[in-house]
Amino acid sequence: MASRAGIVRWIFSRNRSAVAGARGMSTSWWRGVEPAAKDPILGVTEAFLADPSPSKVNVGVGAYRDDDGKPVVLECVREAERRVAGNLNMEYLPMGGSIRMIEETLKLAYGENSELIKDKRIAAVQALSGTGACRLFADFQKRFLPDSQIYIPVPTWANHHNIWRDAHVPQRTFHYYHPESRGLDFAGLMDDVKNAPNGSFFLLHACAHNPTGVDPSEEQWREISYQFKVKDHFAFFDMAYQGFASGDPERDAKAIRIFLEDGHLIGCAQSYAKNMGLYGQRVGCLSVLCEDEMQAVAVKSQLQQIARPMYSNPPVHGALIVSIILSDPDLKNLWLKEVKGMADRIIGMRTALRENLETLGSSLSWEHITNQIGMFCYSGMTPEQVDRLRNEFHIYMTRNGRISMAGVTTGNVGYLANAIHEVTKSS
């Protein structure tokens, strides 16, 4: 029971805050709130924007730029926007999002003529881009399998840790990258897969692994899938870069298709941020492959129920654009050409960066720049070298040494190579 003195103190403090309110002052509710740590990726953009230097270069965030360093709106998107403008209403989408967008999106991951789609075995909802899809899945995992954990590769996209942390799913890690060979630690990965308790959840990057740019080969994916089958593990694919690995979205879905061939019941997060350049539209999809249609209906209804108190239903504009592009054969072909164009420009910049470093006489090996695939080059530079790039050359990248190749251009590649050479030549 509260003491008399306690009650008096309570009444007194209530009166005091009422007086403070009346005088225009307010109680300091948030006195205990400390500033949050800067985001390791988006914080880089903040620092870049604050730098007044005219020679500054941003190779931090994974956002595609053209060869003039300008953000790109794809032609297919411009045409879809023209068709949307003034012609379509902006009412709420259903809780699960745009049915048409989801139909087209599932074809990209599961295959144009997938039996699984025909049999309605996939529970799918529109999500707030790839991040939202991962988060929705993590919350779903926690709600229905509260004792499960998630195995996450080392390294991975930094936000994966935040997503599963905030969903209160305990995290484990598995070996992925081998720093000495700058390639895949396949033996370490397979050991971890074998040693994890049966029925564990694994987060896999479907293609163009972020940040390493290192993917398993087709043969290795087959072995991984086989071992997952033996161990009855669940594969959750994060596919944020479909099209950016090979230039062809169909080829980039290979890992998923192998798992489907082997009869796995997978989960998948898809995003149109990168491959359609719809970053800020926040359009993506979460899908969970189920045993049958009835299960899929149940799972979808639960995913919607998780979304409802958070954001009710997803945004309409990006979903309209995606639906229009993918359901019109001409626009879809234009999109495929434009994806290939983006992937090819990045591949060209990999060659240019490596050649520039070799021409400068760097004694280090830069072979990995051209061996790695997707948007990023995992350069092997130390955090201290990255800091020097920022402080002495106004070049901004994440402290793990990841270079977003999407931000490298004909105009800045020489400057970038020279700076990298300067900070690495004594190592």
In the complex with ligand PGU, the residue whose CB is nearer, 130 or 216, is: 130
Between residues 258 and 276, which has the closer beta carbon with respect to ligand PGU? 276
Piece in contact with ligand PGU (CB under 6 A), picked from 93-101, 125-133, 352-360, 388-396: 125-133
d(CA 176, CA 187): 9
Q: Which stretch binds ligand PGU (CB under 6 A): 77-85, 95-103, 271-279, 330-338?
A: 271-279
C-alpha dist (Å) from residue 142 to 169, 298, 391: 6, 16, 43
Q: Which residue from 184, 224, 273, 386 is in contact with ligand PGU, where contact means CB under 6 A?
A: 273
Q: Choose the stretch contacting ligand PGU; rule: CB under 6 A; options: 106-114, 126-134, 183-191, 379-387.
A: 126-134
Considering only 98, 126, 129, 200, the residue that binds ligand PGU (CB under 6 A) is 129
- Between 287 and 356, CB nearer to ligand PGU: 287
Please identify, using beta-carbon distances, which residue of 130 and 401 lies nearer to ligand PGU. 130
Residue 126 binds to ligand PGU (criterion: CB under 6 A): no
- Binding span for ligand PGU by CB under 6 A among 2-10, 65-73, 124-132, 348-356: 124-132
Query: Which tokens go with 267?
Result: 């989960």
List binders of ligand PGU among 23-42 (CB under 6 A).
41-42
Within 10 Å of residue 27's Cβ, how many Cβ atoms?
Answer: 12
| Number of residues binding to ligand PGU, judged by CB under 6 A | 17
| DSSP codes of every residue in 338-384 | HHHHHHHHHHHHHHHHHHHHHHTT--S--HHHHHS-SSEEE----HH
Q: Are 264 and 116 in contact (CB under 8 A)?
A: no
Query: How distant, in Å, are the alpha carbons of 108, 127, 290, 348 from that of 225?
Result: 20, 26, 18, 32
Among residue numbers 282 through 301, which ones bind ligand PGU (CB under 6 A)? 284
Among 57, 96, 125, 130, binds ligand PGU (CB under 6 A): 130
Rule CB under 6 A: say whether 409 interacts with ligand PGU.
no
| Residue tagged active-site, from 142, 254, 274, 300 | 274
Which two structure tokens, joined as six digits, stand for 317? 């504009």
Encoded one letter per residue, x for contact with ligand PGU by CB under 6 A and - for no contact, window 210-249 reads: x---------------------------x-x---------
Shortest Cβ distance from residue 358 to ligand PGU (Å)?
27
Q: By CB under 6 A, tell whether 125 contacts ligand PGU.
A: no
Closest Cα partner for 120 from 132, 110, 131? Answer: 110
Closest CA to 227 of 196, 184, 183, 266: 196
Q: Which residue in the set 98, 126, 131, 412 belongs to the binding site for ligand PGU (CB under 6 A)?
A: 131
- Regarding beta strands 177-178 and 183-184, do their DSSP bridges make them parallel or antiparallel, or are they unpaired? antiparallel
Which window, 83-91, 127-135, 245-253, 408-416, contacts ligand PGU (CB under 6 A)? 127-135
Give Cα separations from 139 to 106, 148, 149, 159, 378 (angstroms): 21, 12, 12, 15, 30
Strand-pairing partners, residue 236, are 203, 267
Q: Quick check: is 274 catalytic?
A: yes
Nearer to ligand PGU, 224 or 273 (CB): 273
From 68-76, 81-89, 128-136, 137-145, span contacting ligand PGU (CB under 6 A): 128-136
Max Cα–Cα distance, the chain, nearest Å? 82
Does 318 sit near ligand PGU (CB under 6 A)? no
User: Does residue 159 touch ligand PGU according to CB under 6 A?
Assistant: yes
Cβ proximity to ligand PGU, 163 vs 331, nearer residue = 163
Q: Which of 353, 346, 400, 402 is nearest to 373 (CA)?
A: 346
Peptide bond into 211 cis (omega under 30): yes
361: left (phi over 0), alpha (psi -120 to 50) or beta: left
Active-site position among 192, 238, 254, 335: 238
Name which of 141, 136, 212 is nearest 175 in CA terms: 212
**For residue 375, how far is the Cα from the chain centroid?**
11
Q: Is 337 a catalytic residue?
A: no
SS3 74: coil
- Which residues 178-207 are close enough to bind ligand PGU by CB under 6 A? 205
CB 300 within 8 A of CB 289: no
Based on the shown chain and the rule CB under 6 A, indicate whether residue 407 belongs to the binding site for ligand PGU: no
Structure tokens at 68: 């003039």
Active site residue 366: no
Selected catalytic residue, list 157, 221, 335, 366 = 157
Nearer to ligand PGU, 131 or 246 (CB): 131
The answer for residues whose C-beta is within 8 angstroms of residue 47's C-beta and 6 or more apart is 390, 396
Residue 62 binds to ligand PGU (criterion: CB under 6 A) = yes
Residues annotated catalytic, as ranges:
157, 238, 274
Query: Which residues sit at the interface with ligand PGU, rule CB under 6 A?
Result: 41-42, 61-62, 129-131, 157, 159, 205, 210, 238, 240, 271, 273, 279, 284
